[in-house]
Amino acid sequence: METEAMIREGKRALLSMSHSVTAAVENKRVTDKLKHYDTKVICNKKPQEITSCLFMITRMVRFSGGQTSILRLGTELSKLGYRVIYGVYKKQSKEEMKLCASANLPGFQGELYTQEDCAGILKGEREQPDAVIASSWDTVYYVKKFKGYKMYFVQDYEPYFYSFGELFLMAKKTYEQGLHMVSLGSWNTDMINKNCHIVSPIESIDFPCDYKHYSYIEHDYKAYAEKKRLVLAVYMKFYGKRLPCIVQYMMGELQNLFQKDGITLDVRYFGEAKSFQTRNGNNLGMLNHEELLCLYRDADYGIVASMSNISLVPYEMLASGLPLVEFEDGTFSYFFPENSAIMTSIDPSDLYNQIKADLHDTDRIRERCDTAVTHIETLGWDKTGKQFSDILQRAASDI
């Protein structure tokens, strides 16, 4: 009995130590953010014209869908005659910035500014852009230091990146600080209007897709009925808004259900580092454009959990002709018409039954893909870039 008591006490001590370490890490993370956090509401002075803009990011990284969208938007603005700058406020060489930006969007247009270049603007040593645009909640404080018209390109409702607590609150408050907000899609706008006390304009632009970049690959949907092996391309991220644990659990249950029908499920995860440990499938890691096209060509279904703002991945899959599975609790319906994808609950048997229905009536697959592609063909970064330009021009003229 004494030994059992000692073991229980030891377990409690280890658990307490683990909680203490976790708390210490979280406290340091919040404290580091607080060093630069600024809650003041600005008085945003409108310029007489906007012909130049600076998109502020933390640092340039490869395989970032958010930064790819910024580069695409900036490139379209550059084509329209704007001077476009992508700046970082953390230490990074221009060579590394160019390498990462080119990996995200080969042939992007615009200038790259290092931390030192951006500091030169603040010191008056470089020309002040007419508009300075935050791209994430942790860039807002830095943008507020500039003299130009201050804007906020909102690509997601970022409080949802965190558990409810200090970082959740800090992210939420950045929408209430007076920057002119432009949301990529309407879902962010709805969330901000619903949850925040906003004191500045918020507008939406279309979430576009460069569908020509992901040329349509003909899939033989009729052949699905005879398949004994289905390949699933599953977009995987470690953070909770992508349902990493739920999705992996569902894939295991789905494999068991289909195995009883004599069908093997080949699950191929992608989107996260290869070091990320996955269950019930093979992690291919972070893929470049050519590797993604190969995966979309070989797969029979794509699966994405768009639980917050949608990403480029569902667009890419659908544009390439890959049938898509999305979650009914997510945001997909904000961006696509009805009957564009299988909409599943988090119950594995629900997804199993819907895929089984497809295999017995493959015309269903063709109908959904046709609906989605028809919608995607109405979108484009040139159209979205023009929408953003119109917002810039209205901001300058409404004095």
Query: What are the pLDDT digits (tens) for 169-200?
Result: 999 999 999 999 999 999 999 999 999 999 99
pLDDT of 17 over the 60 cut: no
pLDDT of 15 over the 60 cut: no
10 Å CB burial of residue 398 (0-12, 13-18, 19+) is: exposed
pLDDT of 21 over the 60 cut: no
Query: What are the pLDDT digits (tens) for 232-271?
Result: 999 998 877 889 999 999 999 999 999 999 999 999 999 9
From residue 334, how far is each of 21, 190, 309, 329 by CA, in Å? Answer: 40, 10, 9, 12
3-class DSSP string for 256-317: HHHHCCCCEEEEEEECCCCCCCCCCCEECCCCCHHHHHHHHHHCCEEECCCCCCCCHHHHHH
User: What percent of the chain clears pLDDT 70, i.e. is strictly above it?
Assistant: 92
Which of the listed CATH numbers 3.40.720.10, 3.20.20.70, 3.40.50.2000, 3.40.640.10 matches domain 212-376? 3.40.50.2000
Which of the listed CATH numbers 3.30.950.10, 3.90.228.20, 3.40.50.20, 3.40.50.11090 matches domain 52-207+380-397? 3.40.50.11090
Fold: same for 52-207+380-397 and 212-376: yes
Query: What are the pLDDT digits (tens) for 329-367?
Result: 999 999 999 999 999 999 999 999 999 999 999 999 999
d(CA 152, CA 137): 9
Give the start-to-end residue ranges of the domains of the chain.
52-207+380-397, 212-376
Rounded to an integer, the average pLDDT of 146-155 is 96
pLDDT of 394 over the 50 cut: yes
pLDDT of 10 over the 80 cut: no
